[in-house]
């Protein structure tokens, strides 16, 4: 069947701008690209213990059978959600199939007509998609700029319900907002603060609880969204909040209601991942050591001015131009390092970058060699 001409034109435009996305091939390069920050997706221990958990509890049906409101609400959901709520020191936890589903479900359902959503301009696409589906008014504020946020807050009616939305760790920049200041501002304007912690789980806190709990701010936040495809190394996500919020989402979040629930095996993997966060502190400590070491080496090699300031596992160096950044990424890959170029339009034009993801299993020797090569390529002839 003939493909529509207008769609062909859009693909050709991407090709001409050197911005066409293609699926990467599997490789055995040294991993500086995945979000598996503490190595749980590679862990044989987690894999084997999940299997043993299923055997011990005589769970033979590993396939989901329908929506959780019909036949898919396996008893493991209750067990996992109760444990996760206790772990994150909150009243309730509601599991979703993915971080995308959680954000779309939350933002399309919770803010109502005549409510106001104020969101950081660099919030993830899943948040923005959910906001677009909402009937609430929405305005973006400049990235981590709370003066701009207050400018918007002052324009809102005192009668409006206001949701203030940001991320504790931004997925492309790796930086963090001043959450104490944000909570103070939210309190002054009676705002409902919503924080996406996708890239903080497993990274911040003594047990990888996330940045909000690390700062002991969990009682000041209306809702937190935790995604498991990063630090926990498995599928799924959870919305953390009050019992009323959980009940509301069960009744009105369409991405929860009208989808097949996760399989018991997937829920068991999430639960075992949380068990390991509590007892596998070594991986979290190794990751933190690598983050510190990475920052030390990039400073020693005079690369720091090119990087966005970050104390998280995401480190991004700005190299403007799709062709330039792709050339350096390809050169690093030829040297054995899996490093991905982030191109426009995924990021704004002029903000193209290499995005380095650090892990507990990266060695200091690998980090040093990687950054040395980067220095040679950046200050050499490729640019």
Domain CATH number, residue 335? 3.90.1150.10
Is 67 found in the same domain as 35? no
> Cα(252)–Cα(174) distance, rounded to whole angstroms?
32
What pTM does this model have? 0.93
Do 169 and 97 fall into the same domain?
yes
Domain CATH number, residue 147: 3.40.640.10
Q: What are phi and psi of 326, to 5 degrees?
A: -65, -40
Quick one: average pLDDT of 149-166?
95
Residue-averaged pLDDT of the chain? 94
- Boundaries of domain holding 368: 29-40+281-378
- In this predicted structure, which of 24-33, 87-96, 364-373 has the lowest mean pLDDT? 24-33
Residue 48 in any domain: the answer is: no
99 plus 110 within the same structural domain: yes
Share of the chain above pLDDT 90, in %: 81
Task: Looking at the structure, tell me whether residues 208 and 67 fall in a common domain.
Answer: yes
- The residue among 231, 264, 279 that closes a domain is 279
Q: Are residues 101 and 248 in the same domain?
A: yes
Residue 64 has a pLDDT of: 63
Together in a domain, 263 and 372: no
pLDDT of 269 over the 90 cut: yes
Residue 7 covered by a domain: no
Residue 35 inside a domain? The answer is yes
The count of structural domains within the chain is 2
| pLDDT of 69 | 87
Instruction: Average the pLDDT over each of 34-38, 135-139, 154-158, 181-185 and give the range with the smallest value.
Output: 154-158
Q: What pLDDT does 57 receive?
A: 84
Q: Clarify whether residues 255 and 115 are in a common domain.
A: yes
Q: Looking at 219, 245, 279, which one is the last position of a domain? A: 279
Residue 11 lies in a domain: no
Please check whether residues 293 and 241 belong to one and the same domain. no
358 and 245 within one domain: no
Let me know if residue 3 belongs to a domain.
no
* Together in a domain, 181 and 150: yes
Question: 98 and 223 share a domain?
Answer: yes
Residues 6+ apart with CB under 8 A from 125: none
The pLDDT-based confidence of 382 (bands split at 50, 70, 90) is very low
Residue 39: band (very low, low, confident or very high) from pLDDT cuts 50, 70, 90: very high
Residue 18 lies in a domain: no
Looking at the structure, tell me whether residues 110 and 221 fall in a common domain. yes
21 within a domain of the structure (yes/no): no
- Look at residue 164 and tell me whether its pLDDT is greater than 90: yes
Task: Establish if 319 belongs to a structural domain.
Answer: yes
**Of the candidates 279, 308, 334, which is a domain's last residue?**
279
**Window from 68-77, 208-217, 225-234 with minimum mean pLDDT:** 68-77
């Amino acid at each position: 069947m003939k493909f529509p001409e207008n769609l062909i034109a859009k693909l050709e435009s991407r090709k001409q701008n050197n911005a066409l996305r293609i699926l990467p091939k599997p490789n055995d390069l040294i991993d500086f690209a995945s979000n598996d920050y503490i190595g749980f997706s590679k862990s044989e221990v987690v894999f084997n213990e999940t299997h043993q958990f299923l055997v011990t509890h005589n769970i033979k049906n590993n396939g989901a059978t329908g929506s959780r409101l019909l036949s898919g609400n396996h008893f493991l959901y209750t067990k996992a959600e109760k444990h996760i709520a206790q772990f994150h020191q909150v009243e309730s936890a509601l599991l979703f199939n993915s971080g995308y589903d959680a954000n779309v479900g939350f933002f399309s359902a919770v803010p109502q007509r005549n409510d106001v959503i104020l969101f950081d301009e660099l919030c993830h696409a899943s948040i923005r998609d959910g906001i677009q589906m909402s009937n609430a008014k929405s305005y973006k504020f400049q990235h981590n700029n709370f003066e701009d946020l207050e400018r918007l807050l002052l324009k809102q009616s005192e009668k409006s319900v206001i949701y203030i939305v940001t991320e504790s760790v931004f997925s492309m920049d790796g930086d963090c907002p001043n959450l104490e200041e944000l909570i103070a501002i939210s309190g002054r304007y009676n705002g409902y603060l919503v924080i996406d912690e996708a890239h903080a789980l497993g990274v911040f806190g003594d047990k990888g609880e996330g940045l909000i709990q690390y700062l002991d701010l969990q009682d000041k936040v209306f809702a937190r969204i935790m995604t498991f495809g990063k630090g926990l190394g498995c599928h799924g996500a959870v919305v953390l909040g009050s019992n009323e919020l959980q009940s509301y989402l069960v009744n009105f979040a369409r991405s929860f209601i009208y989808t097949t629930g996760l399989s018991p095996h997937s829920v068991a993997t999430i639960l075992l991942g949380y068990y390991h966060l509590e007892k596998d502190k070594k991986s979290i400590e190794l990751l933190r050591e690598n983050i510190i070491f990475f920052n030390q080496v990039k400073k020693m090699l005079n690369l720091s001015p090119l990087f966005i300031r970050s104390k998280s596992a995401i480190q991004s160096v700005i190299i403007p131009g799709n062709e330039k950044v792709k050339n350096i990424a390809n050169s690093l890959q030829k040297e054995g390092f899996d490093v991905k170029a982030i191109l426009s339009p995924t990021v704004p034009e002029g903000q193209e970058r290499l995005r380095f993801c650090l892990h507990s299993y990266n060695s200091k020797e690998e980090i040093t060699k990687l950054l040395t090569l980067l220095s040679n390529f950046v200050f050499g002839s490729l640019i």
